Amino acid sequence: MLAAPWVAVSRCYAVQTRGYVIPMPDPLDLSGRVALVTGGARGVGRGITECLLDAGAEVVICGRSTPDDLPTSSGAGAGGAGVRTAVFAQGDVRDPEQVSAIIAKVIGAYGRLDILVNNAGGAPPADTATASPKFSTAIVSLNLIAPLICSQQANAVMQDQPEGGCIINIASVSATRPSPDTAAYGAAKAGLLNLTQTMAVEFAPKVRVNAVTAGMIRTEQSHLFYGDEEGIAAVGATVPLGRLGEPRDVANACLFLASELASYVSGANLLVHGGGEKPAFLDAAKNTTP
């Protein structure tokens, strides 16, 4: 009879029984897997890249400009591997030809592609009433059309692999609530959630497709939206869990969806928002209660 406790040995789990330690496979070990993370050099994308590297995957990131430094693993990765570094491929994910070149670089280096994380996106604030058609088109292109382009080309590779693959789309709470000053962004992310479900049906059974809806995440650009440290803390206090999310929170959700633990999960939308946002009327009601 197996006895507790389970023991973690690097990323390989073991169970103790009658004085012996029996190694058991870690379901979150991605050794031998190859991932492409769009926009993986900074912010949430960097957190995802570092997490996948720690789990043992080979990771390629892409972007329009070469980053100052590349994401690395913590050195405590799967199988006791040392520090490993992501590979950079330059390209614009809105351009099908450049996406083809990026995926060709992945296949040329590793011979396969197992995981695609469509993370690249975002939008500066703009007044909905006056935003130009050119501006709105660019936002929709980056946040909806680009993930479709990348997914189509990744799927073509994954369908020819015996193990298939998985696609993870990084969405936003802006997709499911009003999105003042980022109307095109919210609409594009809403479209991304529908696209996730549609591709999950069409790409099955070889390829799983899921979304991670991120809430307010603290990154190097948080001050642009929430102000100084006091402002960031005040905004975090409005979240039921009492803080802003960290890139690693989103990354851990991606790790689960990329792993064998999620082998029967497809077409899902995993919410990573700390419990969401409390309705404003609750505070208003408290302020008017006799």
Q: Indicate which residues carry an active-site annotation.
A: 185
Cα–Cα distance between 189 and 252 in angstroms, integer?
A: 21
Smallest Cα–Cα separation from 273: which of 213, 222, 221?
213
DSSP letter assigned to residue 243? S
Ramachandran bin of 15, using left for φ above 0, alpha for ψ from -120 to 50, beta for the remaining angles: beta
Smallest Cα–Cα separation from 76: which of 22, 5, 12, 6?
12
DSSP letter assigned to residue 37? E
Sequence-ordered alpha helix ranges (H) in the chain: 43-54, 96-110, 133-140, 146-158, 183-203, 222-226, 229-236, 247-258, 280-288
Q: Which two tokens stand for residue 76?
A: 């405590």
Cα–Cα distance between 192 and 190 in angstroms, integer?
A: 5
Residue 209 in contact with residue 200, Cβ under 8 Å? yes
The residues with which 90 forms a beta bridge, in sequence order, are 63
